[in-house]
Each structure stands twice: as C-alpha cells, then as structure tokens.
Amino acid sequence: MTDQLPAATEVTAPGLPPSRWRPRLEAAPSPRLLPVTAGDPVTVIAPHPDDESLGAGGLLHRLSTAGCTPTVVIVTDGAAGYPGATPTQRRELARSRRRETWDAIRQLCRKGAQPVFFDIPDGEASAHEAEVTERIAAVLPGNGLVLAPWPEDPHPDHQAVGRAARLAAARTGVELWQYPIWMRHSIQPDDPRVPLADLTVVCLSTAERQAKRRAIEAHASQLRSPFPDFGPVLPEHVLELFADGLEPFFVPRNS
C-alpha cells in the first residue's frame, strides 16, 4: 500500500454552474454600435493581473484589431492570491504576474498596448481608494471608452477599483462600461444588486474567443498553483464561466 499525498487546499470553491447565468446573458441585448472607432483610446482598468483578460479580453481584442489605442491599467500587484505565502514568495509571485500580464496583452492587442502598473498591495485597494481614483483619472484621456470592474462584484478589490474608476470616468467625461468577474460565480441572476436594465453582452467571434483563451492561459500562476499545498486560483470550474464567448458589461445610463 502506497502513501497518498494530502490533497491540495482549494483556493476557489465551486460556485454557480455556467448554466445558471447563460440563458440570461444569451437573452440580453448586444451593443448595436460600439462607442469608439479606429484611433480612439480604450482604457482597461483591472484590479489584478488577469482581470483584463477574464472580464474584457475579447472586446479589447476586437477594439485593438479595429485600430483603437489600448491602455491596460493593473491596479494591484497580485501577490496575495495564495494564502500562507512568505514575503519572498509574494514578491516572486508579483514579478511572475507582471510578466504574465505582458504575455496576455500581447495576445489581446496585436498592435501593441501600454500596460500601467500601480503596484497597490493585493487585497488593499479599498485602503488606497482615493489614491487609485486620482491615478486612474490621471491616466484617462479626455475621450474614448473605459472598461472597468463592476462596483458590486463580490471581491473587495474589485469593488474599490470599480468605485474609483466610476468616479474618475465621471470627472473626465469618458464613457464607462463595467465588467463583472465573480458575478457568475457567486451572484444569482435575480439578485437585486444586478442592474439588468444596464446589461449588454458582447458576443465574441471565434478569433476573439481564441485570443481571450490564449490571454487567460498566459496567466499561468493562476491556472497552475506555484505552491504544492494549494490548488489554483482559477480552476476549471471557474474557467468554464469565461469560455462561452459572452462578455457581459453594465453600461450605466448616466455614463
């Protein structure tokens, strides 16, 4: 009889199945026209490295291919994804995630994109919310489109960055589309927090779906845990939520 290795601790527990949200997303309207054209700037605000790919990767690829000028802002350093990591391991993970972000952006933005890293400590966005607001406002151009987290997404960093982006976009007058990440994992479609009247869904082409998949796969530290005692942050049951070619956004009516 051979000794069995202990099972790795699950970092992300199973949530809602993909089938729970899919009918609602398939029935939602798609944007008739996108609010930007070739040459216009598009700014993606991501709370963590990988949120740019999960939340808006397909649309970013579409807009970049159409000639828009993309900028991707990564707010936190992404170092706190795995519990129990030592300070040295956290620094190494942050460096890995920065490299992974560059690789992901190369998959999404064929004509190049300029990533901006704020390096706010992972998990502490709310403590730096005023600073994040000011730094986002300083990055935003005076026109174009901002793709930022939905402020009700069930993750404190996403909520803080979503609020900061909403305020910065209002100050600069740039149109704001808000993407959810963990909504499909943790929130029921009939939850009163979900502003269904503001929901629009971008249906991705085959090429856009493939680019999004490659970008997500570039975030290897989230798909394959670098720590043997823990499972990945993005296990298969989470990745399934982003594999259907549907990217939901909330477009506030006053944006």
Higher pLDDT, 130 or 110: 130
Q: Is 182 left (phi over 0), alpha (psi -120 to 50) or beta?
A: alpha
Whether 10 maps to a domain, the answer reads: no
pLDDT value at position 112? 73
Whether 4 maps to a domain, the answer reads: no
Whether 255 maps to a domain, the answer reads: no
Q: Are 60 and 70 in contact (CB under 8 A)?
A: yes
Whether 12 maps to a domain, the answer reads: no
Residue 195: pLDDT above 90? yes
Across 34-43, 83-92, 153-162, which has the greatest mean pLDDT? 153-162
Whether 6 maps to a domain, the answer reads: no
**pLDDT digit string, tens, across residues 113-132:** 889 999 999 999 999 999 99
Which domain range does residue 199 map to? Answer: 18-79+88-250
Confidence (pTM): 0.95
Predicted confidence band at 255 (pLDDT cuts at 50, 70, 90)? very low
Q: Are 211 and 242 in contact (CB under 8 A)?
A: no
Give the residue among 129, 186, 193 at the shortest CA–CA distance from 160.
129
Average pLDDT over residues 33-52: 95
Whether 66 maps to a domain, the answer reads: yes
pLDDT value at position 254? 60
Give the residue among 242, 226, 205 at the shortest CA–CA distance from 18.
242
**pLDDT digit string, tens, across residues 196-214:** 999 999 999 999 999 999 9
Whether 222 maps to a domain, the answer reads: yes
pLDDT value at position 252? 87
Specify the number of domains making up the chain. 1
**Furthest C-alpha separation in the chain:** 68
Predicted confidence band at 24 (pLDDT cuts at 50, 70, 90)? very high
CATH of the domain at 206: 3.40.50.10320
